Amino acid sequence: MNIGLLLALATGFAPDAQAADTPHSLDADTAKVVASVQKKYATVEVLRANFVQVAVSDLYGREEQRGTLVLQRPGKMRWTFAGSGREFVTDGETMWIHNPEAKQVLRFQDFSAQASTVDSLLQSLHKVGELFEVASLPAEGSGARLSLVPKEESAKAQVKALELQLDAELVLRKLVITDAFGAVTDLSFTDVTLGGEIGADTFRFQIPPGVEVIDANGAG
């Protein structure tokens, strides 16, 4: 799983619940879709789903992983990977990346500061028209399919393009991300649930015994 992708997805459920104004430069049909998406996600604080990730790159070839995720604004998430036991967990301040096979945990301190640099991907579904140049693509069935290109130059340096697919109810179904090096990450989502209560321990990470903790910020 691309760490930059994870950071961006986490910040996609930002604390600002106000939907952004839809840019007037969009064509009427696209503007209508964007406005509907922003309205739907303006008050969404929790998202649960199953996911399948397929990543294709010249360096690593094709990799497929699957699992479950829970996101909660602001900036909290837990990705659990089936089979490997790998986890990505953050409470919005510290991020933990657990790799049981390597018996290691990567710790990213001050997660919110790191996430603020990843403006290239999916800052927020409720501000999609503000953060991206949006264009409609032919949709599958009655859903919506949008091409998104980051407006910020720093974002363009990390990601070339993002494709967002939603079903007829505008529920997230797929993200296709092409990074600056041409690697493509395809994330498909099923059993998506918006809203609901989250357990107090959902985003709390307990360091397993016998693992090495590596501070990814370079501090002691």
On whether the CB atoms of residues 105 and 213 are closer than 8 A, the answer is yes
| 59 belongs to a structural domain | yes
What is the pLDDT tens value at each position of the chain, 220 positions in all?
A: 555 555 545 444 444 444 445 444 678 889 999 999 999 988 888 889 999 999 888 877 888 989 998 888 777 889 999 988 899 898 888 989 999 999 999 998 866 555 432 333 434 678 788 878 899 999 878 889 999 887 776 666 677 888 999 999 999 999 898 888 888 889 999 999 998 988 889 999 999 999 999 987 765 4
Q: What is the total count of domains within the chain? A: 1
Domain around 91: 3-215
Give dist(CA 7, CA 89) in Å, integer.
Answer: 11
Where does residue 199 rank: exposed (0-12), middle (13-18), buried (19+ CB within 10 A)? exposed
pLDDT, residue 25, reads: 63
- pLDDT for res 200: 81
Q: Is residue 220 part of a domain?
A: no
> Does some domain include residue 108?
yes
Question: 218: Cβ–Cβ under 8 A, 6 or more apart, which residues?
Answer: none
Strand partners, 69: 49, 79
Cα dihedral sign for 193, 194, 197, 201?
positive
Domain containing 121 — which CATH number? 2.50.20.10
The Cα–Cα gap between 69 and 201 comes to: 14
**Strand order of the sheet with strand 46-57?**
132-136, 144-150, 159-166, 172-179, 184-194, 46-57, 61-72, 76-81, 87-90, 95-99, 104-108, 212-215
Beta bridge partners of 105: 98, 213
